[in-house]
Amino acid sequence: MPGLGREEEIGMGRERGLRSFWQSAIQSHRFERTARRKARLKLMLKALSSFKERRDRAFSALRSRLEKSLGEERDSLYGEELFDSSEPYNTTEVSARAVQDARMREPSNNALFAVFQGLSDDDYNRDGSVKVSVINDVLEDRGYGRADKDMIDDAYSEWSLEQSQEQGTKKAASKKRTRKRSATKKAGKTSTKGE
Protein backbone atom coordinates (compact mmCIF):
# COMPACT_ATOMS: atom_id res chain seq x y z
CA MET A 1 0.00 0.00 0.00
CA PRO A 2 1.32 3.42 -0.83
CA GLY A 3 2.44 5.64 1.99
CA LEU A 4 2.77 2.85 4.54
CA GLY A 5 5.97 1.37 5.81
CA ARG A 6 6.93 -2.25 5.55
CA GLU A 7 6.01 -3.05 9.15
CA GLU A 8 2.60 -1.40 8.84
CA GLU A 9 1.87 -3.46 5.72
CA ILE A 10 2.78 -6.67 7.56
CA GLY A 11 0.49 -5.69 10.49
CA MET A 12 -2.42 -5.07 8.16
CA GLY A 13 -1.74 -8.37 6.47
CA ARG A 14 -1.96 -10.11 9.81
CA GLU A 15 -5.29 -8.40 10.55
CA ARG A 16 -6.58 -9.48 7.15
CA GLY A 17 -5.36 -13.00 7.88
CA LEU A 18 -7.08 -13.05 11.27
CA ARG A 19 -10.25 -11.60 9.80
CA SER A 20 -10.35 -14.20 7.08
CA PHE A 21 -9.58 -16.94 9.66
CA TRP A 22 -12.49 -15.89 11.91
CA GLN A 23 -14.79 -15.41 8.95
CA SER A 24 -14.05 -18.92 7.74
CA ALA A 25 -14.50 -20.28 11.29
CA ILE A 26 -17.86 -18.53 11.60
CA GLN A 27 -18.88 -19.78 8.16
CA SER A 28 -17.95 -23.37 9.02
CA HIS A 29 -19.85 -23.07 12.33
CA ARG A 30 -22.93 -21.81 10.45
CA PHE A 31 -22.59 -24.61 7.93
CA GLU A 32 -22.35 -27.24 10.71
CA ARG A 33 -25.33 -25.74 12.50
CA THR A 34 -27.36 -25.78 9.29
CA ALA A 35 -26.30 -29.38 8.60
CA ARG A 36 -27.33 -30.43 12.14
CA ARG A 37 -30.67 -28.63 11.75
CA LYS A 38 -31.27 -30.40 8.42
CA ALA A 39 -30.35 -33.74 9.99
CA ARG A 40 -32.80 -33.13 12.86
CA LEU A 41 -35.51 -32.20 10.37
CA LYS A 42 -34.82 -35.36 8.38
CA LEU A 43 -35.09 -37.44 11.56
CA MET A 44 -38.32 -35.70 12.50
CA LEU A 45 -39.75 -36.31 9.04
CA LYS A 46 -38.69 -39.95 9.22
CA ALA A 47 -40.31 -40.32 12.64
CA LEU A 48 -43.45 -38.61 11.37
CA SER A 49 -43.67 -40.91 8.36
CA SER A 50 -43.07 -43.91 10.64
CA PHE A 51 -45.84 -42.64 12.92
CA LYS A 52 -48.16 -42.22 9.93
CA GLU A 53 -47.40 -45.76 8.79
CA ARG A 54 -48.09 -47.17 12.27
CA ARG A 55 -51.28 -45.12 12.50
CA ASP A 56 -52.41 -46.40 9.10
CA ARG A 57 -51.62 -49.99 10.11
CA ALA A 58 -53.52 -49.54 13.37
CA PHE A 59 -56.51 -48.05 11.55
CA SER A 60 -56.52 -50.85 9.00
CA ALA A 61 -56.32 -53.46 11.79
CA LEU A 62 -59.16 -51.71 13.61
CA ARG A 63 -61.16 -51.49 10.40
CA SER A 64 -60.68 -55.20 9.69
CA ARG A 65 -61.61 -56.07 13.30
CA LEU A 66 -64.78 -53.97 13.04
CA GLU A 67 -65.64 -55.47 9.68
CA LYS A 68 -65.11 -58.94 11.13
CA SER A 69 -67.33 -58.23 14.12
CA LEU A 70 -69.95 -56.62 11.89
CA GLY A 71 -69.75 -59.62 9.59
CA GLU A 72 -70.35 -61.99 12.53
CA GLU A 73 -73.23 -59.86 13.73
CA ARG A 74 -74.61 -59.63 10.20
CA ASP A 75 -74.42 -63.42 9.99
CA SER A 76 -76.34 -63.72 13.24
CA LEU A 77 -78.92 -61.16 12.04
CA TYR A 78 -79.42 -62.78 8.65
CA GLY A 79 -78.77 -66.34 9.84
CA GLU A 80 -80.89 -69.40 9.36
CA GLU A 81 -83.02 -68.82 12.44
CA LEU A 82 -84.74 -65.91 10.67
CA PHE A 83 -85.45 -67.89 7.53
CA ASP A 84 -86.68 -71.04 9.31
CA SER A 85 -89.56 -69.26 10.99
CA SER A 86 -93.07 -69.72 9.67
CA GLU A 87 -93.59 -65.95 9.47
CA PRO A 88 -92.65 -64.07 6.31
CA TYR A 89 -89.25 -62.39 6.34
CA ASN A 90 -89.47 -58.74 7.45
CA THR A 91 -86.57 -56.60 6.16
CA THR A 92 -87.62 -53.47 8.05
CA GLU A 93 -87.40 -55.28 11.40
CA VAL A 94 -83.90 -56.55 10.65
CA SER A 95 -82.66 -53.19 9.35
CA ALA A 96 -84.20 -51.39 12.36
CA ARG A 97 -82.36 -53.75 14.70
CA ALA A 98 -79.11 -53.21 12.79
CA VAL A 99 -79.54 -49.44 13.13
CA GLN A 100 -80.33 -49.82 16.83
CA ASP A 101 -77.23 -52.00 17.34
CA ALA A 102 -75.10 -49.43 15.56
CA ARG A 103 -76.40 -46.70 17.87
CA MET A 104 -75.52 -48.65 21.00
CA ARG A 105 -72.46 -47.54 22.86
CA GLU A 106 -69.41 -49.71 22.94
CA PRO A 107 -69.07 -51.14 26.45
CA SER A 108 -66.31 -49.63 28.55
CA ASN A 109 -64.36 -51.40 31.26
CA ASN A 110 -66.44 -49.58 33.88
CA ALA A 111 -69.64 -50.93 32.33
CA LEU A 112 -68.20 -54.43 32.29
CA PHE A 113 -66.99 -54.06 35.89
CA ALA A 114 -70.53 -53.14 36.96
CA VAL A 115 -71.83 -56.26 35.23
CA PHE A 116 -69.20 -58.45 36.89
CA GLN A 117 -70.22 -57.22 40.35
CA GLY A 118 -73.76 -58.48 39.82
CA LEU A 119 -72.83 -61.98 38.62
CA SER A 120 -74.09 -65.09 40.37
CA ASP A 121 -72.52 -68.57 40.48
CA ASP A 122 -74.64 -69.68 37.48
CA ASP A 123 -73.03 -67.01 35.31
CA TYR A 124 -69.63 -68.75 35.23
CA ASN A 125 -68.41 -71.60 33.05
CA ARG A 126 -66.89 -74.75 34.53
CA ASP A 127 -63.38 -73.41 33.93
CA GLY A 128 -64.16 -70.29 36.00
CA SER A 129 -64.54 -67.86 33.11
CA VAL A 130 -67.65 -65.74 32.72
CA LYS A 131 -70.34 -66.67 30.23
CA VAL A 132 -70.13 -64.27 27.30
CA SER A 133 -73.82 -64.62 26.47
CA VAL A 134 -74.84 -63.59 29.99
CA ILE A 135 -72.53 -60.56 29.93
CA ASN A 136 -73.79 -59.47 26.51
CA ASP A 137 -77.44 -59.85 27.58
CA VAL A 138 -76.86 -57.60 30.60
CA LEU A 139 -74.93 -55.10 28.47
CA GLU A 140 -77.77 -54.94 25.94
CA ASP A 141 -80.28 -54.42 28.76
CA ARG A 142 -78.18 -51.46 29.91
CA GLY A 143 -77.99 -49.93 26.42
CA TYR A 144 -74.52 -51.07 25.42
CA GLY A 145 -73.44 -52.96 22.35
CA ARG A 146 -72.15 -56.51 22.43
CA ALA A 147 -68.59 -57.27 23.54
CA ASP A 148 -66.43 -60.03 22.13
CA LYS A 149 -64.92 -62.79 24.28
CA ASP A 150 -61.41 -61.29 24.28
CA MET A 151 -62.67 -57.92 25.50
CA ILE A 152 -64.72 -59.57 28.25
CA ASP A 153 -61.85 -61.83 29.34
CA ASP A 154 -59.40 -58.91 29.47
CA ALA A 155 -61.81 -56.77 31.49
CA TYR A 156 -62.63 -59.67 33.82
CA SER A 157 -58.97 -60.38 34.56
CA GLU A 158 -58.39 -56.68 35.26
CA TRP A 159 -61.48 -56.52 37.48
CA SER A 160 -60.56 -59.65 39.45
CA LEU A 161 -57.04 -58.27 39.99
CA GLU A 162 -58.49 -55.01 41.33
CA GLN A 163 -60.86 -56.94 43.58
CA SER A 164 -58.04 -59.03 45.03
CA GLN A 165 -55.94 -55.89 45.61
CA GLU A 166 -58.86 -54.16 47.35
CA GLN A 167 -59.39 -57.18 49.59
CA GLY A 168 -55.68 -57.18 50.43
CA THR A 169 -55.75 -53.50 51.40
CA LYS A 170 -58.92 -54.02 53.46
CA LYS A 171 -57.26 -56.89 55.34
CA ALA A 172 -54.16 -54.79 55.98
CA ALA A 173 -56.28 -51.89 57.25
CA SER A 174 -58.21 -54.26 59.50
CA LYS A 175 -54.96 -55.62 60.94
CA LYS A 176 -53.76 -52.05 61.58
CA ARG A 177 -56.99 -51.20 63.40
CA THR A 178 -56.75 -54.37 65.48
CA ARG A 179 -53.14 -53.62 66.43
CA LYS A 180 -54.06 -50.03 67.26
CA ARG A 181 -56.99 -51.14 69.46
CA SER A 182 -54.87 -53.67 71.31
CA ALA A 183 -52.13 -51.07 71.81
CA THR A 184 -54.63 -48.56 73.22
CA LYS A 185 -56.12 -51.25 75.49
CA LYS A 186 -52.65 -52.14 76.78
CA ALA A 187 -51.86 -48.47 77.31
CA GLY A 188 -55.13 -48.04 79.23
CA LYS A 189 -54.41 -51.02 81.47
CA THR A 190 -50.91 -49.80 82.32
CA SER A 191 -52.16 -46.31 83.15
CA THR A 192 -54.88 -47.65 85.48
CA LYS A 193 -52.40 -49.93 87.27
CA GLY A 194 -50.04 -47.06 87.93
CA GLU A 195 -52.69 -44.93 89.64
Q: 130 pairs with which residues across the strands?
A: 124
Q: Are 140 and 146 in contact (CB under 8 A)?
A: yes
Instruction: Say what the pTM is.
Output: 0.39
Name 63's Cβ contacts closer than 8 Å, sequence gap at least 6: none
Find the DSSP H helices in the chain: 6-77, 80-83, 91-103, 109-117, 132-141, 149-194
Distance CA 132, CA 149 (A): 6
Q: pLDDT at residue 3 above 70?
A: no
Backbone torsion region of residue 144, taken as left when φ is above 0, otherwise alpha when ψ lies between -120 and 50, otherwise beta: beta
Closest C-alpha among 161, 160, 148, 87 to residue 119: 160
pLDDT score, position 85: 46
pLDDT, mean of residues 166-178:
76
What are the pLDDT digits (tens) for 38-49?
999 999 988 888
Instruction: Among 7-21, 83-97, 117-131, 140-154, name the one with the lowest average pLDDT.
Output: 83-97
Distance CA 32, CA 50 (A): 27
Residue 86 or 49, more confident: 49
pLDDT score, position 179: 73
pLDDT score, position 103: 56
Domain boundaries, the chain: 94-187
